[in-house]
Every structure is written in C-alpha cells, then in structure tokens.
C-alpha cells in the first residue's frame, strides 16, 4: 500500500512495524505538498525543516520504545489559528503576517506528546470568519475534488489538505460549523467535540463561548483516535472540563442496534439541495438497516439560530480582536500621526472586509442602548435552543441531518452576498450554540462529483454514540462510495466543472 | 458668597491586593522588578491566551466585603470593559459590572462634631490593573512595562454620603485599617496600592437634588485629597455663583500647582461595551466557602482595642495609636508574646519608633526590626546589661538594620561595667580630679553630683549604670 493512501492509524502501525519510518512519511508528504500545493493552496506556512527534524526525533523515540501511541510518527497539518512556538501563526490575516508565537497551544502540545510531526499551518478564513476560505489574506484554497469550487470554511485548508493527501490528518476549529462544513465539502471526516473537551489555550479566539478544536481525518477511526489525543483537562482554560469517558476509540464498534436516531424536519426543509436531501435520507436508511430506530421530528427554533449566532460570535469577536492593534505584535501601518491614527490605520489595513464587518456588527450589538435588544436577546435564544436540544435528546441518542444545504459552491459565488453565506450555516451553528458534539462524514457525491456530508449530532459528552453511529455507517457503505479522496496526479481532481 | 452650599462626595477606591501572583496568571506581583520580566502570554495579551481566576483574589474581595457589611453576590461574573490604550494589552480590562462580588455595605466613621455616621458602600468589584507607560523623551517614543498588568485590584465604590474632606479622610482611614487588618493589602497611597478618585458635586444647602458632579483623579496622598476637595468645591461654587454651570467631566489634580484641569468630558465618554467575559466561568460562592472566609476574619480594631484595654496596663492613647496601624499592633503583640512587658514595648513603639518613623518619613508597614529583637533589647535594659542611653543607640541601629541587640552589644562592647572594683577606681580618679565639684557637693550643692556622674560615665565610655554610679559616688563622698 502506498504510504499516501494510508490512514493515520495505518501509517502509525506501519511505522511501528518498521515497514516505513516517520521520516519517510514526512518526506513523502513534503514532496507532495511541494508538487501540488500551488494548485490547492492548503498551506499558509510549510515547515519542511522543522517537520523533518521532528520526524527524526520522533522516529528515534519510537525505536527506543518511548513512543507507543497509535498516532506516533504521523504527519499532521494545523489550522493557522493554533499557536505554535517559533512557527508563524497568521490566522490567515495580514495583521498577523509576521506573528511568531512564544508558546504552543495546549491541544498541539497533546499532539506532540503523542508523537505528531507538524508539517505546517493550513489556510483558513481570516480569523475563522467565513464559510469558504476565501476571506484569507493568503489566497483562496481550492477544493481537491474540483478546483473551481471552494473547500468550505473556515477550516478549509485543513479539510482540503486531508482530501488532497497533503497530510494524514489535520486539526481545525469549529465556531459555527468550521470543521463540519468543510469536511462535508471536501469529503472527509470532521468532528467538533462538546464545548470544554479540548483546551482552547493557544487557539486564537473568534467566538470564545463557541470555539472548539477538533480533528479532520480520512475516516472515523482516525477521528476517534485523534480526538482522544486532543482531549485533556487544562487548568489554563477555565472552560475546560475534566472528563472521564475520553477513550473514544473504544466506541469504534459496528453495532447500533436500538440506537434512537431523530431527523429534524427543520433540517430537510426549504433551501436544502435535492441531491443532498436524497443522500442524507439514504444514509439514514443504511443506519436503519443496521438496526437503528430512525424517526422524523420537529426540533423548532432552528431559524433563530443564525441571528443569535451572528450576534454572539460577532460580539465576542469584536472584543477578542481588539488586541490586534499594532502595538505589541503583528502589522503596524507605515505612516501615522499619533496613537489613535496608528490604531485606526493598522487595523483598517490589517483586517479584511469580512472581519471588519463582524467587528462592526459585534461592536454595535454590545453598544450601550442596544445590548439588551441584541446581545442579551441572543443569549436568551441560545438558552432556548439548548432546551430544544435537551428535549430532543430525551427521545433520541443521535440527531441526523446534512452539514450544509448544498455541496461546495464555486469560487467567488459566496462573498458577494454575505447574508446568503451566513444562511448556509443553518445546520451547523445550533450545535455550537448548545455546546454539543457533532461529526460530519462523507455519504456520497452529487451529480457533479462533489462530496456530500452527513452530520450526526449528540448530546453533551455523548461523542461515543456519535463515533459508534458514524463508524457503523462507514462500515455499511461500499468502499468506492467512501472514497472521497482525490488524486491530482491521476487527473481525477482539478477538472473544471 | 450669598448662598450656603453643601458638598456631596462619593469615592471610588482602588486597592491593590497583596496576592503573590496576578489575578489571571501565575506571574509574580512583586514590585520593582526589571520591566517586562514578570509577564507571560496571559498578562501581555498574547493571541490565544486565556485568563484563570486566582482564588486568593476572590477570597480577599469577599473578606473585605464581609468586613464592610456587604452582601456577597453568590453568583458573580466578570465582564470585559473594552477600550483601546497601550497599557491595556488586550484592549479590554477584565472587571465586573453586572454582577460585582459585593454590594450594599457600609463603614462607620467619626464626624468632626464627634458623632458617628455610616458611609454606604455601593459595591466592591474585582478587576485587573493595567501596565505602565513610560515615555522616553530622548528617543521620543513610549514604552510599556507589563509587570503591573494583571495585578489584582478591588474597586470599592461608596455612596455619595460624605460631606467634607475630613469625612473623606476618615472614610479612607477606616477602609485602610480594615483592609490592612485583613492582610488584603498594605494600602499605601504614595506607592499606589491604594488610589482614590473623588466624585464631587455641590448643592444649595437644604436642597434634595444632586448637583452636577466631576470626578477627580491622580490623588496620591491624604493631603492631596484634602486640597483637591477644597479646590474643587470652591471651583464649582464659583461657577454657580457666576451663573455658569458645572460640566460633568473627569479632572486631573496637579498637587504641585494645587489646581485641576479637565481630562475628558461626558460627551467624549467612551462606550465601554461591557459584556460577560466568555473566557471565565461564573463564580459561585458556596455556603462552605463563605463560612471558611468568615472563620478566618481577623480581630478588627475595635475588638483589639477592647482586648488591649482589658489585658494590658497601657494608656488609652497608646492603645489608639498602636491599633491604628496593623503593623504596629502586630509588632506589639509579637514582642509581648516574646515575654517583654507590654508597658515597655508600648513605650518603645510610642517613643523611639514613632520618632524615627516621623524623622525618616516611614509608614508602619516599612518597619524592619523584628519583635524578637525588640523583646531582647527590652530584656537587656531590664537586666541592666545596658543602660537606657546605650539602649537608644542600639535601637537606632536595630531600627535601620534589624540587628540582634544581644550580639550587637556583645560585639561593640557596650555592656555596662558591673565590676565594682574598676568602677570604684574610676570614681576615685574623678573625685581626685574635680576637687571643686566635690567641695560644692559637700557644701550642699546637689547639682554638683550630676557633673561628677557625667564625668564618670564619660570615663567609663557610657558603659556604667548611671544609678549605680550615683549611689557609689554619694557613698564615697
């Protein structure tokens, strides 16, 4: 088997058996990135030298028997909003074009402890604001299944890197669907865990109460293994939770007999593409055939999730992004007259349009006289949405639906109409508002050959149920239907639609 | 002035808490380190860093709240106060607006007339301090030192209950005492560990409605506060008398010029866009935690005064002075615990200690000598190992360097000469050398003995007990 076609777990096993080495795997990945990333632009920064040095060190420790974990020696790509000591971290923004963190994010440290080899930092929507990776200051990322299409966002670089085999797995962050939606568009597996499961320390914040770090992988087994490594209780993050049931790989069993699955009617209504709808219902049938009890129900309140989300996330972002001011690090304008002019020019020049739009929106909803009408109301909606999910989970183990209303749109189609783009988040954002875990995995392709993603949502701390359902579904599908990984050399990708 | 005016004053008092580490990270709060050496990603506002509340800050804030009769908020939150300034690395300050930790308290003060009144406390909230901006005139640039960034503060907001500078000072002294007794802060105005902003308005005597208020900042001493209050009162009355109106604004006091100038008016007041900090979880104060803090509350001044009165035979005036400053009371009690007589300890504190403090412009908190050493010094005088003038000398050295008096007396050979033979020899020499004085004494001039004692002490290099010398002289003569 070609190394490049291996999953992360397969590669680690091969390294452990001595069939290959961490160095060999890193070299092959770096060569592939070198050869094809000009086309896809998955990476903002590739750390070839660092990756090889890490690979050598890790290989030694594997051989010495010090590193025995299931992911030891496997190259990984990190979304460029995860701080990495000594390695440039830009959030795909001009304002951080030269920012080199002095410390490493806790989640990344967990990966390093498990023997990960960091290849580089992946492209994203600027400060994770966007659904297409087109708001990046470092160029768009192209969907490996069709380069005329977006990879989704904001973790578009991470999803595309997995799909284009430019890494064995990647890490993303999900504030309103930023892992699950690009996973859906790129035909890979992506998971947002329960809020508080993975430490946010070192994740450059967008919407702090919604942000979670999670894996983007080739299959469900990798997803469970990576999540297991990412998870830890971190005292440096006040919102981090001490969880006990984090042996997620134990849930990789092909048994869903009696699992109660609910499909919200609200997730199949107006605005949903017919082919996506068909694929989702087919996926539900697969699960039913495997013994799950599948029902339709009304979740309600879904329509209020988008305004509530954009109010809360923008409010938090407007404050979180205040620190980027040209004083301490990052971009500072060349010419300025006095402090306030420096602030104004640095921020005007350093931030892109979408980020500025959300900062203004967030500043507005927090301003005196509007706080109650917008921000507080949004928090109340958030609480009601959580309650609606609580009610649903009293009846169902898992909620099933699409991750996005359509497959990947063409490049350039989305940014012209931000409201339309925001509406595309309809199926993912309620999950963030309620702090729930959600997984997205491929369930077919549309007539244009673009991947369709199936989303499974669980109650808080019920990742294992999601993994079990996703794994069972994956086992129930034919191999060719699951192959959502393109191969640019064979000319199967990159064709204009 | 044709009309009678009443001054209405409320205070916002910031107190730096005496925690070892900062409010949201593990960096040291020690004062005076080289710039930016006590910093980390959290207190320099690095991307991705997150705050974690220092529990000691919460405990101190609750302790101060309990000691000032406040209701403790059982479900409290931190809020972000958003404003851009380079000393504020995140460009928001983590503070409390919506659910502050303490509310509705008050402290009792004595008024000039000798009566008592309560100054209400509207709320006490926890927040982080900002860094320090240093302007480099030579390079024409500004530098930021983030060592102070994240040092914990509580802000105590009073009701507008004070009517004069004297009441303000009484209120501040009361707060300082309580907080010092709790050990929550050293409350030094000059060093900025206690800072007061004065909100002041005037109104015609007898009217109910408040006048327009101004807020005065940069008040670094009780004297500056008093002067600023008097100056601002006059300024506002002059405006009103001239038919003008007071502008609601923040003013900065220049103590050297004894005048204030406007910093910013209400019109350019910023919208701080307060909202709950999503990085910090809400604080829940359990019954258990509250009981634990209550249990740890120290003996406050009133209780201490009553106890001293009952336990120690020292004057009321001494009790008042010693208990007025927690460090003095601590010294007193510790020295007494070492076995020294309360009366003697009190005398040393009231006499030499206060004298040297005044001379060197020191606060009680600056005292360096240990109670053990004070007790040893007292023991040396009581056992007549040294005489009182030597003791004062030793005390001065002890005051400056906290030397061990036993060792010091030994090393410097300051012990009183107790060898009667040697003393007798010297006395005989003094008598022989001063026939006139001996003559005078014998003729009934009592004063002459003083001169002879002095001569003897001089010859003994001060190391004799003046009482013994006096007695032996009389016997010899």
Of A130, A148, A184, which is closest to residue A414 (Cα–Cα)?
Answer: A130
Q: Do B48 and A203 touch (CB under 8 A)?
A: yes
Using the predicted structure, report yes or no on whether residue A479 has a pLDDT greater than 70.
no
Residues in A closer than 8 angstroms to B51, CB to CB, are 238
Distance (Å, whole) CA A483 – CA A490: 14
DSSP B141: E
The verdict on residue A346 lying in a domain is no
The verdict on residue A325 lying in a domain is no
Distance (Å, whole) CA B370 – CA B334: 9
The verdict on residue A377 lying in a domain is no
The verdict on residue A146 lying in a domain is yes
The predicted structure's pLDDT at residue B2: 64
The verdict on residue A307 lying in a domain is no
3-state secondary structure chain A: CCHHHCCHHHHHHHHHHCCCCHHHHHHHHHHHHHHHHHHHCCEEEECHHHHHHHHHHHHHHHHCCCCCCCCCCCEEEEECCECECCECCCCCCHHHCCCCCCCCCHHHHHHHHCCCEEEEEECCCHHHCCCCCCCCCCCCCCECCECCECCCCCCHHHHHHHHCCCCCEEEEEECCCCCHHHHHHHCCEEEECCCCCCCCCCECCCCCCCCEEEEEECCHHHHHHHHHHHCCCCCCCCCCCCCCCCCHHHHCCCCCCCCEEEEEHHHCCCCCCHHHHHHHHHHHHHHHHCCCEEEEECCCCHHHHHHHHHHHHHHHHHHHHHHCCCCCCCCCCCCCCCHHHHHHHHHHHHCCHHHHHHHHHHHHHHCCCCHHHHHHHHHHHHHHHHHHHHHHHCCCCEEEEECCCCCCCECCCCCCCHHHHHHCCCCCHHHHHCCCCEEEEEEEECCCCCEEEEEEEECCCCHHHHHHHHHHHHHHCCHHHHCCCCCHHHCCCCCCC
Please, which pLDDT band fits residue A343 given cuts at 50, 70 and 90?
very high
The predicted structure's pLDDT at residue A490: 39
User: Range of A42's domain?
Assistant: 3-301+384-490
Q: To which residue do tokens 């390079």 refer?
A: B139
Distance (Å, whole) CA B94 – CA B42: 12
Nearest Cβ partner for A202 among B48, B82, B274: B48
Residues in A closer than 8 angstroms to B86, CB to CB, are 325, 327, 339
Reported as a single tens digit per residue, the pLDDT across A69-110 is 999 999 999 999 999 999 999 999 999 999 999 999 999 999
The verdict on residue A310 lying in a domain is no
- Return phi, psi of residue A284, to 5°: -60, -35
Which residue among A178, A240, A318, A472 is the active-site one? A178
Q: What is the mean pLDDT of chain B?
A: 92
- Domains with residue ranges and CATH for chain B: 5-288 (no CATH), 299-412 (no CATH), 420-476 (1.10.10.410)
Nearest Cβ partner for A209 among B47, B48, B278: B278
- Among A residues 20-59, those touching chain B with beta carbons less than 8 Å apart: none
Nearest Cβ partner for A238 among B44, B84, B279: B279
Using the predicted structure, report yes or no on whether residue A485 has a pLDDT greater than 60.
no
Q: Is A208 on the interface with B (CB under 8 A)?
A: yes
CATH of the domain at A101: 3.90.1300.10
8 Å CB contact between B280 and B53: yes
Which of the residues A322, A326, A373 would you substitute to probe the B interface, choosing the one with the greatest number of B C-beta atoms within 10 Å?
A322
Please, which pLDDT band fits residue A401 given cuts at 50, 70 and 90?
very high
- Return phi, psi of residue B118, to 5°: -100, 130
Residue A257, CA distances (Å) to A288, A395, A465, A470, B98 in order: 9, 16, 12, 13, 49
The verdict on residue A497 lying in a domain is no
Q: Do B48 and A343 touch (CB under 8 A)?
A: no
The verdict on residue A357 lying in a domain is no
Peptide bond into A77 cis (omega under 30): no
8 Å CB contact between A424 and A368: no
Q: Do A200 and B50 touch (CB under 8 A)?
A: yes
Distance (Å, whole) CA B332 – CA B323: 9
Reported as a single tens digit per residue, the pLDDT across B247-305 is 999 999 999 999 999 987 766 678 999 999 999 999 999 999 999 999 999 998 888 99
The predicted structure's pLDDT at residue B418: 65
8 Å CB contact between A98 and A331: yes
Using the predicted structure, report yes or no on whether residue A492 has a pLDDT greater than 60.
no
Q: Are strands A398-402 and A260-264 parallel, antiparallel or unpaired?
A: parallel
Residue B369, CA distances (Å) to B353, B400, B404, B407 in order: 10, 7, 9, 15
Provide the number of CB pairs (under 8 Å) joining chain A to chain B.
Answer: 97
Reported as a single tens digit per residue, the pLDDT across B397-443 is 999 999 999 999 888 888 876 667 777 888 888 888 888 888 888 88
The predicted structure's pLDDT at residue B1: 53
Average the pLDDT over each of A32-41, A45-54, A108-117, B379-388 and give the range with the smallest value.
B379-388
The predicted structure's pLDDT at residue B15: 97
Using the predicted structure, report yes or no on whether residue A418 has a pLDDT greater than 50.
yes
Is residue A60 among the annotated active site residues? no
- Among A residues 90-119, those touching chain B with beta carbons less than 8 Å apart: 91, 96, 99, 101-103, 105
Please, which pLDDT band fits residue A494 given cuts at 50, 70 and 90?
very low
- Minimum distance, in Å, between the CA of residue A322 and any CA atom of chain B: 6
The predicted structure's pLDDT at residue A196: 98
Please, which pLDDT band fits residue B467 given cuts at 50, 70 and 90?
confident
Sequence-distant (6+) residues with CB within 8 A of A25 are: A3, A11, A15, A55, A73, A74, A75, A117, A168
Is residue A178 among the annotated active site residues? yes
The rounded radius of gyration (Å) of the Cα atoms in chain A is 21
Q: Identify the closest residue of chain B to A367 by CA–CA distance.
A: B273
The predicted structure's pLDDT at residue A486: 39
Reported as a single tens digit per residue, the pLDDT across B81-119 is 999 999 999 999 999 999 999 999 999 998 888 899 999
Average the pLDDT over each of A260-264, A306-310, B410-414 and give the range with the smallest value.
B410-414
Q: What is the mean pLDDT of chain A?
A: 94
- Minimum distance, in Å, between the CA of residue B44 and any CA atom of chain A: 9
Is residue A93 among the annotated active site residues? no
The predicted structure's pLDDT at residue B448: 82
Between the two ends of chain A, the Cα-to-Cα distance in Å is 31
Q: Identify the closest residue of chain A to B280 by CA–CA distance.
A: A238
Using the predicted structure, report yes or no on whether residue B242 has a pLDDT greater than 60.
yes
- Minimum distance, in Å, between the CA of residue A302 and any CA atom of chain B: 23
Q: To which residue do tokens 């003697």 refer?
A: B344
Q: Is A362 exposed, middle or buried (0-12, 13-18, 19+ CB in 10 A)?
A: buried
- Minimum distance, in Å, between the CA of residue B45 and any CA atom of chain A: 7
Residues in B closer than 8 angstroms to A239, CB to CB, are 278-279, 281
Reported as a single tens digit per residue, the pLDDT across B299-326 is 988 889 999 999 998 999 999 999 988 8
Report the domain count for chain A: 1
- Return phi, psi of residue B443, to 5°: -85, 10
Residues in B closer than 8 angstroms to A378, CB to CB, are none
**Rounded to the nearest 10 degrees, what angle do helices A377-393 and A302-320 cross at?**
130
Of residues B264 and A305, more confidently modeled = A305
The predicted structure's pLDDT at residue A483: 40
Residues in A closer than 8 angstroms to B271, CB to CB, are 367-368
Distance (Å, whole) CA B164 – CA A294: 76
Using the predicted structure, report yes or no on whether residue A235 has a pLDDT greater than 70.
yes
- Minimum distance, in Å, between the CA of residue B92 and any CA atom of chain A: 7
Reported as a single tens digit per residue, the pLDDT across B341-382 is 999 999 999 999 999 999 998 888 889 999 999 999 999 998
- The secondary element (H helix, E strand) that includes residue B260 is strand B259-265
Nearest Cβ partner for A328 among B82, B89, B92: B89
Which residue among A79, A121, A218, A465 is the active-site one? A79
């Amino acid at each position: 088997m070609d190394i490049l076609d291996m999953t992360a777990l397969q590669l680690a096993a091969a390294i452990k058996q001595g069939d290959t080495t961490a160095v060999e795997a890193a070299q092959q990945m770096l060569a592939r990135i070198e050869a094809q990333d000009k086309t896809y632009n998955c990476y903002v920064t590739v750390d070839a030298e660092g990756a090889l040095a890490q690979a050598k060190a890790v290989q030694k420790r594997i051989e010495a028997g010090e590193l025995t974990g299931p992911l030891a020696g496997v190259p990984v790509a990190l979304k460029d909003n995860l701080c990495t000591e000594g390695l440039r971290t830009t959030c795909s923004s001009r304002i951080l074009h030269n920012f080199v963190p002095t410390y490493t994010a806790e989640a990344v440290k967990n990966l390093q402890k498990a023997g990960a080899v960091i290849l580089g930092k992946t492209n994203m929507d600027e400060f994770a604001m966007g659904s297409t990776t087109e708001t990046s200051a470092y160029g768009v990322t192209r969907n490996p299944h069709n380069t005329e299409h977006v990879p989704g966002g904001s973790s578009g670089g991470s999803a595309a890197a997995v799909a284009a085999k430019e890494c064995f797995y990647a890490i993303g962050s999900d504030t309103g669907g930023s892992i699950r939606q690009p996973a859906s568009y790129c035909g890979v597996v992506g998971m947002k865990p329960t809020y508080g499961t993975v430490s946010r320390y070192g994740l450059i914040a967008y919407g702090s109460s919604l942000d979670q770090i999670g894996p983007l992988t080739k299959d469900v087994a990798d997803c469970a293994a990576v999540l297991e490594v990412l998870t830890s209780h971190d005292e440096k993050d006040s919102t981090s939770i001490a969880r006990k049931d984090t042996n997620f790989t134990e849930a990789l069993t092909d048994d869903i007999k009696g699992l109660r699955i609910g499909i919200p009617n609200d997730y199949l209504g107006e605005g949903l593409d017919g082919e996506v709808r068909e694929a989702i219902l087919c996926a539900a049938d697969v699960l039913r055939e495997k013994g799950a009890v599948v029902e339709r129900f009304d979740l309600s309140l879904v329509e209020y999730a988008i305004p509530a989300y954009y109010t809360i996330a923008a409010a938090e972002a407007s404050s979180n992004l205040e620190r980027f001011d040209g004083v301490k690090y990052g971009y500072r304008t060349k010419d300025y007259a006095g402090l306030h002019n420096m602030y104004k020019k640095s921020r005007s020049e350093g931030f892109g349009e979408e980020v500025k739009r959300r900062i203004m929106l967030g500043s507005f909803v927090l301003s005196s006289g509007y706080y109650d009408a917008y921000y507080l109301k949004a928090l109340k909606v958030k609480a009601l949405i959580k309650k609606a999910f609580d009610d649903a989970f009293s009846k169902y183990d898992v909620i099933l639906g699409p991750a996005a209303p359509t497959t990947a749109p063409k490049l350039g189609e989305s940014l012209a109409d931000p409201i339309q783009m925001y509406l595309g988040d309809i199926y993912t954002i309620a999950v963030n508002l309620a702090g729930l875990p959600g997984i997205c995995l491929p369930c077919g392709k549309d007539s244009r050959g673009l991947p369709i993603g199936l989303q499974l949502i669980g109650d808080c701390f019920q990742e294992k149920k999601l993994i079990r359902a996703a794994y069972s579904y994956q086992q129930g599908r034919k191999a060719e239907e699951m192959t959502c990984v393109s191969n640019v050399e064979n000319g199967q990708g990159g064709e204009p639609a | 002035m044709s009309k009678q005016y009443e001054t209405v004053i409320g205070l916002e008092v910031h107190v730096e808490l005496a925690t070892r580490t900062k409010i949201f990270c593990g960096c040291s709060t020690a004062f005076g380190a080289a710039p930016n050496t006590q910093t980390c990603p959290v207190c320099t506002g690095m991307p991705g860093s997150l705050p974690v509340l220092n529990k000691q800050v919460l405990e101190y804030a609750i302790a101060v709240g309990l000691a000032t009769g406040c209701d403790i908020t059982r479900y409290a939150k931190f809020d972000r106060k958003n404003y851009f300034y380079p000393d504020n690395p995140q460009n928001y300050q983590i503070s409390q607006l919506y659910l502050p930790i303490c509310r509705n308290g008050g402290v009792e003060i004595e008024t000039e007339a000798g009566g008592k009144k309560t100054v209400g406390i509207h709320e006490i909230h926890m927040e982080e301090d900002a860094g320090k901006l240093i302007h480099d005139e030579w390079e024409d640039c500004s530098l930021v030192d983030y060592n102070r960034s994240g040092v914990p503060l509580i802000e105590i907001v009073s009701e507008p209950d004070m009517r004069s500078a004297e009441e303000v000072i009484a209120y501040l002294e009361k707060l300082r005492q309580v907080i010092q007794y709790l050990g929550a802060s050293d409350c030094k105005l000059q060093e900025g560990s206690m800072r007061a902003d004065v909100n002041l308005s005037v109104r015609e005597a007898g009217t109910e409605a408040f006048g327009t208020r101004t807020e005065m900042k940069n008040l670094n001493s009780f004297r500056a506060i008093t002067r600023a209050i008097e100056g601002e009162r006059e300024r506002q009355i002059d405006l009103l008398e001239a038919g003008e109106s007071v502008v609601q604004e923040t003013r900065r006091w220049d103590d050297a010029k004894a005048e204030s100038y406007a910093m910013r008016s209400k019109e350019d007041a910023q919208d701080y866009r307060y909202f709950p900090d999503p990085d910090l979880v809400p604080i829940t104060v359990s019954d258990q935690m509250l009981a634990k803090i209550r249990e740890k509350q120290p003996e406050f001044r009133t209780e201490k005064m009553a106890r001293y009165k009952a336990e120690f035979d020292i004057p009321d005036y001494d009790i008042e002075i010693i208990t007025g400053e927690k460090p003095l009371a601590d010294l007193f009690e510790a020295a007494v615990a070492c076995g020294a007589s309360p009366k003697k300890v009190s005398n040393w504190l009231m006499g030499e200690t206060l004298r040297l403090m005044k001379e060197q412009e020191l606060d009680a908190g600056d005292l360096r000598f240990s109670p053990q050493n004070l007790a040893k010094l007292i023991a040396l005088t009581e056992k007549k190992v040294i005489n009182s003038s030597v003791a004062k000398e030793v005390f001065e050295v002890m005051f400056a360097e906290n030397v061990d008096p036993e060792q010091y007396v030994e090393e410097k050979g300051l012990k009183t000469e107790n060898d009667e033979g040697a003393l007798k020899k010297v006395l005989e020499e003094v008598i022989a050398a001063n026939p006139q004085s001996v003559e005078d004494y014998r003729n009934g001039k009592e004063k002459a003995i003083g001169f002879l004692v002095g001569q003897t002490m001089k010859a003994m290099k001060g190391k004799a007990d003046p009482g013994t010398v006096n007695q032996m002289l009389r016997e010899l003569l």
